[in-house]
Amino acid sequence: MAGVVVCHGSTVVRERLVLTALGVPSLAPVRSAETAEELTALARRIPPTVVLLDAHLPGPGPVEAIRRLRSIAPTATIVMLAVPGDEIALDRAISLGARGFLAPDVGRAELSAVAAHVLASPSVAATGAPTAMRAEATVDHVDAPTQRGGLEEVALTKREVEVLIGMSNGRSNAQIGAELFLSEDTVKTHARRLFRKLGAADRAQAVAIGLRRGLIR
């Protein structure tokens, strides 16, 4: 395991994320960088397995940081640190192969679950839209047909759309259930149904398809 590199322009955020990552054994060792230059220097010495990258990295910026990283550590999984609403900043990063995004205030339990999911499966192809990586990623995975190439109409129920919106906002199944006054198992049932209707394999792909089809904004 070559570990994780936390690259964030804010000292406060960077140090907090390092402390959080230190509590996740699968991410050890944990290194940090403040700039794209520091990130590439660390990657040249020891290519990282996972990079948590500031979506608003100062200097050359996150897009250039990804380009440099890809030339040095092409197999590194890049996860952007951003919040819903940062779609413009994330768009090019996702197109260059970033796996998705996490909130900068991600907790240890969630980071641990996401790390397990990322390390257990290969990076998915870029979907053209930023996707939130949440702790339930493995729970929500279902067998589904290949994504349709066309844009034929998909009829989702009102509840399925509400669940999809919750996913797009990075909500966990439990959080979506609390907001909609549903049990977590009921949320999972709605999620599986909308996955089948959209032809999505998991919540990340479902959100991307939903954005592309205009089902959510």
Q: Could you report the per-residue pLDDT of 21-48, keeping only the tens digit for each?
A: 998 888 899 999 999 999 999 999 999 9
How high is the mean pLDDT of the chain? 79
| Per-residue confidence (pLDDT) for residue 181, from 0 to 100 | 83
Question: How far is it, in rounded angstroms, from Cα 42 to Cα 45?
Answer: 5
Q: What is the mean pLDDT of residues 5-24?
A: 94
164-173 per-residue burial string, b: 16 or more CB within 10 A, e: under 16: bbbbbbbbbb
Structure token pair of residue 170: 């990075």
pLDDT range class, residue 84, cuts 50, 70, 90: low
Using an 8 Å Cβ cutoff, are 99 and 133 in contact? yes
pLDDT range class, residue 139, cuts 50, 70, 90: very low
Q: What is the mean pLDDT of residues 90-94?
A: 75
Using an 8 Å Cβ cutoff, are 93 and 61 in contact? no
Using an 8 Å Cβ cutoff, are 60 and 53 in contact? no
Q: What is the mean pLDDT of residues 2-10?
A: 92
Q: In whole angstroms, how far apart are CA 135 and each of 48, 157, 203?
A: 22, 25, 11
Q: Is the peptide bond before 29 cis (omega within 30 degrees of 0)?
A: yes
Contacts of 68 (CB under 8 A, 6+ apart): 36, 39, 40, 60
**Listed residue (66, 71, 68) closest to 99, CA to CA:** 66
pLDDT range class, residue 134, cuts 50, 70, 90: very low
Q: What is the mean pLDDT of residues 151-169?
A: 82
**What residues form DSSP beta bridges with 4?**
30, 50
Query: Is the model more confident about 193 or about 112?
Result: 193
Please, where are the H alpha helices in the chain? 11-22, 36-45, 62-72, 87-95, 108-120, 158-168, 173-180, 184-198, 203-212
Is residue 6 pLDDT above 80, yes or no? Answer: yes
Q: What is the mean pLDDT of residues 2-22?
A: 93
Please give the share of the chain, as a percent, with pLDDT higher than 90: 29
Query: Is the model more confident about 156 or about 113?
Result: 156
Is residue 64 pLDDT above 50, yes or no? Answer: yes
**Listed residue (170, 4, 167) closest to 77, CA to CA:** 4
Is residue 160 pLDDT above 70, yes or no? Answer: yes
**Looking at this protein, which amino acid is placed at residue 141?**
H
For 50, the 3-state DSSP assignment is strand
